[in-house]
Amino acid sequence: MALKTADEYLDSIRARKLTVFYRGEPMDSVVDHPVAKAAADCVADVYSAALDESLAPLMTRTSPLVDEVVNASNILWRSRDDLLNRVEWERAVGRRTGRGALRSPGLDAINSLAIVTQQCDQAKGTEYHQRLLAFIERVQREDLAVSGAMTDVRGDRSKRPGEQADPDMFVRVVKQDADGIYLRGAKAHQTSAVHCHEHVVLPMTCGPDETEYAVACAVASDTPGITHIFSRQPSDSRRAEGAPLDVGLPAFAGCESLMIFEDVFVPHERVFLCGEAEYTQELVRYFGSFHRFCYGGCKVGIADVVIGAASLIAEANGVRNKSAVRNKLTEMVHLNETMYACGVAAAAKGWQTSAGTFSPDIGLANVTKLNVTRFPFEIARLAADIAGGAMLTLPSQADLDHPELGAHVRKYMAGNPSVPTQQRMALFRLLEFLTHGSGAVYFLHESLHGAGAPEAMRIILRREVDLSPFETAARNLLAGA
Amino acid sequence: MALKTADEYLDSIRARKLTVFYRGEPMDSVVDHPVAKAAADCVADVYSAALDESLAPLMTRTSPLVDEVVNASNILWRSRDDLLNRVEWERAVGRRTGRGALRSPGLDAINSLAIVTQQCDQAKGTEYHQRLLAFIERVQREDLAVSGAMTDVRGDRSKRPGEQADPDMFVRVVKQDADGIYLRGAKAHQTSAVHCHEHVVLPMTCGPDETEYAVACAVASDTPGITHIFSRQPSDSRRAEGAPLDVGLPAFAGCESLMIFEDVFVPHERVFLCGEAEYTQELVRYFGSFHRFCYGGCKVGIADVVIGAASLIAEANGVRNKSAVRNKLTEMVHLNETMYACGVAAAAKGWQTSAGTFSPDIGLANVTKLNVTRFPFEIARLAADIAGGAMLTLPSQADLDHPELGAHVRKYMAGNPSVPTQQRMALFRLLEFLTHGSGAVYFLHESLHGAGAPEAMRIILRREVDLSPFETAARNLLAGA
Amino acid sequence: MALKTADEYLDSIRARKLTVFYRGEPMDSVVDHPVAKAAADCVADVYSAALDESLAPLMTRTSPLVDEVVNASNILWRSRDDLLNRVEWERAVGRRTGRGALRSPGLDAINSLAIVTQQCDQAKGTEYHQRLLAFIERVQREDLAVSGAMTDVRGDRSKRPGEQADPDMFVRVVKQDADGIYLRGAKAHQTSAVHCHEHVVLPMTCGPDETEYAVACAVASDTPGITHIFSRQPSDSRRAEGAPLDVGLPAFAGCESLMIFEDVFVPHERVFLCGEAEYTQELVRYFGSFHRFCYGGCKVGIADVVIGAASLIAEANGVRNKSAVRNKLTEMVHLNETMYACGVAAAAKGWQTSAGTFSPDIGLANVTKLNVTRFPFEIARLAADIAGGAMLTLPSQADLDHPELGAHVRKYMAGNPSVPTQQRMALFRLLEFLTHGSGAVYFLHESLHGAGAPEAMRIILRREVDLSPFETAARNLLAGA
Amino acid sequence: MALKTADEYLDSIRARKLTVFYRGEPMDSVVDHPVAKAAADCVADVYSAALDESLAPLMTRTSPLVDEVVNASNILWRSRDDLLNRVEWERAVGRRTGRGALRSPGLDAINSLAIVTQQCDQAKGTEYHQRLLAFIERVQREDLAVSGAMTDVRGDRSKRPGEQADPDMFVRVVKQDADGIYLRGAKAHQTSAVHCHEHVVLPMTCGPDETEYAVACAVASDTPGITHIFSRQPSDSRRAEGAPLDVGLPAFAGCESLMIFEDVFVPHERVFLCGEAEYTQELVRYFGSFHRFCYGGCKVGIADVVIGAASLIAEANGVRNKSAVRNKLTEMVHLNETMYACGVAAAAKGWQTSAGTFSPDIGLANVTKLNVTRFPFEIARLAADIAGGAMLTLPSQADLDHPELGAHVRKYMAGNPSVPTQQRMALFRLLEFLTHGSGAVYFLHESLHGAGAPEAMRIILRREVDLSPFETAARNLLAGA
């Protein structure tokens, strides 16, 4: 069984030499630094979950590639059940961590590459698919965490890669030699990239005269020439203060970084596309749609926590049985289950690709995500409505722990006497974290922009959903038809 | 193969003696009367579709009960595929007819009774399940159209059956004898009941002191004592004017009636519940949820027609390529596919009942319907937005056909020269029909109230969706947890 | 006092010879024809209201032009109070009639022309303003009903007037001579035009090479060469059946017609713009914005009736005190008062034009209307939600009046015993009329398209609302600013 | 002229001895402490604005009480113009500061007390009104900043003041003597209370047996026995880091505190209500509605900044002219102007109270606020949509200022070359501040809960908006009416 424990995973990341800066200072350890630790623990949780008896049926699969049980984050999907299963484990991990399954982008990267490399090889006689399978085999055997490095910094967004003032606004191949290729550029807001063993670099859509940008490859995280600038998030520095109550969700978190490539060398056997610009649109379409689909599990799981917290706060405020509160909770559940239903449906209408793997329905995957760009915001608003004003105006843990002030805080922050005041405060802070703190980066902002902004879904829907059968249906019913 | 042709079906209904009134006059033939004909043809279409080669895989199933191919409207669901399939054929029929599959309530009636009769028999030693199977067998063999007669008129809605001023506000058993039972009361707005061979009467939820109301049974449509008052619908009389252009959708329609029972006799072998009030809530819950689930196909199919018509009108107006129009069409598609996704997900998360049949996920079935109470209204608004003012202010067919006026109409109702003016007018009338004419009864009003008003879904969601796992998830993540 | 009674008004219209067709037949009297009568009575109501003691302070003003008390539908606005007052009387008339104040388009026509003719005269030495004042003087003295004839049929909407295959898709001057001008073309869906004494013809926005389309003038309704094709509306023919219960709102209605000009002669003294294409955009902007602003009263008044009917139905159903019902009514009130507030604010921020008249705030006028394109649809949906399924599936009046069936109808359509069954039925029909019958043409469809589709408001908002002060505000607050 | 300069104001606050704790430590100076300074400067800005020539006409009024020019934050409203003016200056200050006019709660406190004290005095022979006028006179002459201390901590929210386990969950009078009264309890999240000279304490609604809670009075901010616990806000500690870029809006902010009263003495001449429980509901209704009304200016002004920042980011991203972006900006403007229109309308429909002062329309004030509980959230979502992913994942100022990293940041955070990269970063941070940082406490959370949660508006609307005229209107139009 090719499964690392959480500790083995954390040690394996500790062992890597990375160049990471946070607020202008080198971050010595991305595993133990107070601002990064919870994010590392969140990746580690995907390892733990695979070894958890109750979750193992969701979190693991036997891979025919290596004939071993591997983490479901690293498989090629071989059935509709694999897809349905993914929605379930994404939701489970989202619900466990309040953040989500941080190995997902890599999963989408290998599955989208599997399709496109097979197509490219067949048409052009390249050997990318075989290289990819070899890479996946190693990833499965060693149970590696893989990031999907897609989003370029993009500079002036009205301009294509080749039109930018600075040609490095999209990651590109600046040199090729007998041994491999050299990458320059930067990938923006790379989720948990500092906590991954491998990065799968993917291109944006390229035109025929932009072949230098048409590159996909795997890069080991400790390859020389990679620098991370670790992002600031709302209230991030609270994690360094030693007051977990103020953090809200002390155990888990996400992180992202600006990942800069300064002429990074990648050997040929790790290259999965290089110059075949005509395949980039398909690759982007698959990668984006796969990742959009997974939000029907992942963000739903976070929303489960938001709903649970809102319900507990209602209890702590003494109003859980009021019909106005119950109506709001029901609406939150309704919106959340709608997102989930879209993810499930995209899986249930999945289909087998020419590579033998399975893809969720592309249209429904985008429908899923378009709802995800809207509903978490309304769920967050309703949670804040239920919570009341104290959610963002609480005294601090230091006030609570203060020898004299503490009595004031305990007296005046008390609600329903059957709920301990400290728990009531912790609930407010959890909701603050998820909707206005660094958790909001994932529950709200990533819901909006992860795997593309709403406009990207609309463009796909326009392309994927052919209106002509609807028009034919209408025409058939007309008077005189 | 136990499948009637459409003509055989229509003849079989023509042969029945029914008591039906429309606008104070007896309706001689519910098949041939100009106001009822299109609704009869719509039921007939479900027969045609089963014999249509391309649709047969959706519309038919081999039933183990009779070991024959039967219409999918009459089966007990035996797998998740049966459920997924249902969403598909509901959508297909909705799209073919602009109205929907009118044998669906009967389908939900037999499937909900299958579960509850099995439970009742097991607990109480009754023999309802066997009787039901015998009934279904006959229905399958003879390919009968079955209505689901659930909704009582209910009088004062703040009062329970037993509290009403008039005890007949809910259908009840007024007498029992050795041969059978006698029903009195009325069922409100019974969809296509006049076009069905059999009515399956179902109870509302009853309390332990309301056993006379706890009755389920099958009643042949020509049983003495049944009177139908056929409903008026918006613009219904246009069908009697001989101007199909003004009708909008001349081929198909729906209809409903107030179905009155005056001490109607039902033999014991057709009775599936009688006095076991404790089973009525479950029965209502299953029947309602099954029917709510199907709207994720049926109403989606009608919306396909609305979207198609809106797109064609945009073409006829010369603006199909404007980005504002395309954005609206994309939003309509998005909302529609969201409803569809919910139906698919309810099926994909289906489960096997104690009766051996399959049920869709009850929570997701209600989520489906709650979206259906909202999105068709926005789809209709967007369609009207695209169509423009002429949709509700068109000259009539008589104006178009008039020897002199006709030239004016053709000249001034012209739009994009590549679309014939008469087609443009027919498109406006089709949209008028679906959103403000008698089609709106189904696309909008039934979407709101069919199988229960939005409040009913909320109540089920409150009951079905247990918040405690969400609360546990939140509690696990609290500081100090 | 220059005020006609309702009967004087109706007689004055009866006396006119008009060419009007309905369903291919000449309509002998637009006042007495069963399908047109209620619409005539609705215009008449604006006359009655002006003579009603309690409404006179709203409905009348002393005009300095004629130094007499005149109907507020015919004044030039001379203060913010005139504007605020307009919102109030529009709401009052909407609430009285369920339809609205049918002389409003003429009011907007004279007020927009007052500004633009003054500007044109000043710049170009024309004498349009004086002609307009003379026209208004006569209109005030004789208390005439004036229509605003703006919307051309427009043919292919992607093409400008001069680009159409048929040059008559926009009304144009086909000939000029010493006495006057000759108009050809058609105006689409002209609200109550058949019930007006005068039409003020207005142009759409024209380019410099489209001067033949740049025409504004007053045309007496009985001028030779004008033909009306009376529109069909949902359920329109119920008014001819003699069953007022089925009509829903028997007393009042709206109507519109396709008004065709076959080389209609207009003497010069009635021409207010002819060829000055550069003024058409301003004219359209003012006319459109003035009319949009008035919807903050007019549609609000209809919504008052919808809300009142929904509340009474809730009572008739026995559920007026349920919190779910009260929440829906409160939301309906909230949405409605928001539309009203926008109209009031547009008036309160009014300003004096260069012609000395007052204009509402143009931005807020468009904000008003953009809300009106949305909220009535949600109000209608909530009303239908409260009403329940019977709203569109009622037995007819003939069923109720039938010697035998009547007893069934009275028994089974009964609700709350304290509300007569016939009143309950009348309430359902009133809501049917307003949301799915011919009243929906005004409450919903005109709300969407009257005075321009939502896109038109967005275009104005983009133009009127300068973002640069907002950008300056943001820039001032930046770090380092 | 009784107007302080900003510096005079700041010095006057510096001079006061207050007991304030932040994160368990005494806050030495609420003016100069890095976390509190920007909030003090925001109050100071209301002083500056009154002396700013261009704003003085909005920000000041001549008060008949003192016959001097005073700050508009301290007046009794004497006309509809005073009310309209208030909407304007609230918006102006919101737009200047991104936070709002922090002396507003005191303004609402004195205006609501003016009405209720006059009523109480007249009915009961008390002399509260005179005391209040004397207080206002001093406040005007000395140009004092006054807080409105309304919101009690409330404990178990299902319980009334007298039912709580701890009687101090609502501020109450624990003792009275010849000189005055003694207050115990705490007021929750008191906006800028630490920066005010005076607190006007107001009661929640009390029952006849809860007279000890029915207390209104003025308390000087440095009265012994008052302790503030200063709230933590999202990202609050960034202000102490010395990196203004990371703060987002370095110049201004808000703050609030839990304000605890430990048997605080208040002399009788400062008491405005004491035991007259029957007046508390009216007082709450007026105070709440006045404050709700002002959000139609204040929150609109903040939204102006959000819209401006979004537009500038679109420019910095190179996409300001894309139609998708312009549509979103137009929708943001539309929503914002709708809130503004509601505030203006509430003012325009203002009326004179029995105290001679003016009140905005209570219904429309609550309609204003109910929209404010919704639209800022959608405006924030649309702003985030336009901004893109970088808004919450930016490198820090330290990274930008770093000798080596800085080049990377400048290279890869560049967008449209005509916008400096640092300005682009500052724009992201400004939006982060306003929607997820401590600015979100005001733009979003206070919009939801300030002056009461949405439920409070709904309750008022149910009470204030009498449905019976709507019902009468519907009844008048019924068939047979």
Taking the Cβ of residue D476 and every Cβ of chain C, the question of whether any pair is shorter than 8 Å is answered with yes
Phi, psi of A439 (to 5 degrees): -65, -25
Taking the Cβ of residue A463 and every Cβ of chain B, the question of whether any pair is shorter than 8 Å is answered with no
ipTM above 0.95, yes or no: yes
Closest Cβ–Cβ partner in A385, A399, A413 for D24? A399
Radius of gyration of chain B (CA): 23
Which of A229, A411, A447 is the best mutation test for D, with the most CBs of D within 10 A? A229
Neighbours of A352 (CB within 10 A): 13
Residues of chain C with pLDDT under 50: none
Closest Cβ–Cβ partner in C22, C235, C416 for B235? C235
pLDDT confidence of residue B135? 98
**Tokens linked to A453:** 């902004």
Chains that touch B (3 or more CB pairs under 8 A): A, C
**Tokens linked to C364:** 């807020």
Residues of chain A with pLDDT under 70: 1
**pLDDT (tens digit per residue) in D169-202:** 999 999 999 999 999 999 999 999 999 999 999 9
pLDDT confidence of residue C234? 97
CA dihedral (C369, C370, C373, C375) in degrees, to 10, reads -100
**pLDDT (tens digit per residue) in D115-151:** 999 999 999 999 999 999 999 999 999 999 999 999 9
Are the beta carbons of D256 and A231 separated by less than 8 Å?
Answer: no
Picking from D375, D389, D475, D358, the residue whose alpha carbon sits closest to that of residue D107 is D358
Residue in chain A closest to D254 (alpha carbons) equals: A393
Mean per-residue pLDDT over chain D, rounded:
97
Picking from A444, A461, C454, A188, the residue whose alpha carbon sits closest to that of residue D383 is A444
DSSP β-bridge partners for residue A71:
A60
| Beta strands B19-22; A358-359: pairing state | unpaired
Residues of chain B with pLDDT under 70: 1
Angstrom CA distances, B353 to B114, B286, B356, B360, stand at: 10, 11, 5, 10
Coil/strand/helix, residue D436: coil
**Residue B434: which H helix or E strand, with range?**
helix B421-435
Residue in chain B closest to A368 (alpha carbons) equals: B338
Are the beta carbons of C334 and D461 separated by less than 8 Å?
Answer: yes
Distance between C453 CA and the closest CA of chain B, angstroms: 7
Between positions 48 and 77 of B, the ones with CB within 8 A of C are: none
Distance between D20 CA and the closest CA of chain C, angstroms: 28
Which of A436, A441, A457, A462 is the best mutation test for D, with the most CBs of D within 10 A? A436
Taking the Cβ of residue A407 and every Cβ of chain D, the question of whether any pair is shorter than 8 Å is answered with no
**pLDDT (tens digit per residue) in D395-449:** 999 999 999 999 999 999 999 999 999 999 999 999 999 999 999 999 999 999 9
Chains that touch A (3 or more CB pairs under 8 A): B, D
Closest Cβ–Cβ partner in D23, D186, D234 for A436? D234
For B135-179, strand residue ranges (E) read: 146-149, 172-176
Q: How many CA atoms lie within 13 A of C470 on its CB side?
A: 23
The angle subtended at Cα A433 by Cα A428 and Cα A439, nearest 5°, is 150
Taking the Cβ of residue A193 and every Cβ of chain B, the question of whether any pair is shorter than 8 Å is answered with no
Length of chain B equals 481
Closest Cβ–Cβ partner in A84, A248, A478 for B423? A478
Closest Cβ–Cβ partner in A348, A429, A430 for B345? A348
Chains that touch D (3 or more CB pairs under 8 A): A, C
Residues of chain C with C-beta less than 8 angstroms from the C-beta of D334: 367, 370, 458, 461
Angstrom CA distances, A174 to A168, A218, A221, A267, stand at: 9, 16, 20, 14
Between positions 229 and 268 of D, the ones with CB within 8 A of A are: 229, 231-235, 237-238, 241, 246, 256, 258, 260
Do B181 and B173 meet the contact criterion of CB atoms below 8 Å apart? yes
Mean per-residue pLDDT over chain A, rounded:
97
pLDDT confidence of residue A164? 97
Are the beta carbons of C395 and B258 separated by less than 8 Å?
Answer: yes
Are the beta carbons of D417 and A324 separated by less than 8 Å?
Answer: no
Are the beta carbons of A312 and B475 separated by less than 8 Å?
Answer: yes
Are the beta carbons of B23 and C396 separated by less than 8 Å?
Answer: yes
Distance between A121 CA and the closest CA of chain D, angstroms: 34
Q: How many CA atoms lie within 13 A of C86 on its CB side?
A: 33
Task: Report the alpha-carbon distance of residue A470 to residue A475 in Å, rounded.
Answer: 9
Are the beta carbons of D393 and A454 separated by less than 8 Å?
Answer: no
pLDDT confidence of residue D241? 96
Between positions 366 and 395 of A, the ones with CB within 8 A of D are: 373-374, 377-378, 381, 384-385, 388-395
**Tokens linked to D114:** 């003016």
Residue type, C343: G
pLDDT confidence of residue B480? 86
Chains that touch C (3 or more CB pairs under 8 A): B, D
Task: Report the alpha-carbon distance of residue D365 to residue B421 in Å, rounded.
Answer: 51
Residue type, B325: V
Closest Cβ–Cβ partner in D158, D395, D436 for A318? D158
Share of residues in chain A with pLDDT > 70 (%): 100
Closest Cβ–Cβ partner in B232, B319, B449 for C389? B449
**pLDDT (tens digit per residue) in B37-72:** 999 999 999 999 999 999 999 999 999 999 999 999
Neighbours of D278 (CB within 10 A): 16
Are the beta carbons of B342 and A342 separated by less than 8 Å?
Answer: yes
**pLDDT (tens digit per residue) in D305-316:** 999 999 999 999
Between positions 268 and 307 of D, the ones with CB within 8 A of C are: 304-307
Taking the Cβ of residue D417 and every Cβ of chain A, the question of whether any pair is shorter than 8 Å is answered with yes
Are the beta carbons of A337 and B465 separated by less than 8 Å?
Answer: yes
Coil/strand/helix, residue D338: helix
**pLDDT (tens digit per residue) in D47-72:** 999 999 999 999 999 999 999 999 99
The residue written with tokens 């929907």 in the block is B100
CA dihedral (D128, D132, D135, D141) in degrees, to 10, reads -150
Residues of chain B with C-beta less than 8 angstroms from the C-beta of A472: 308
Residue in chain C closest to D469 (alpha carbons) equals: C308
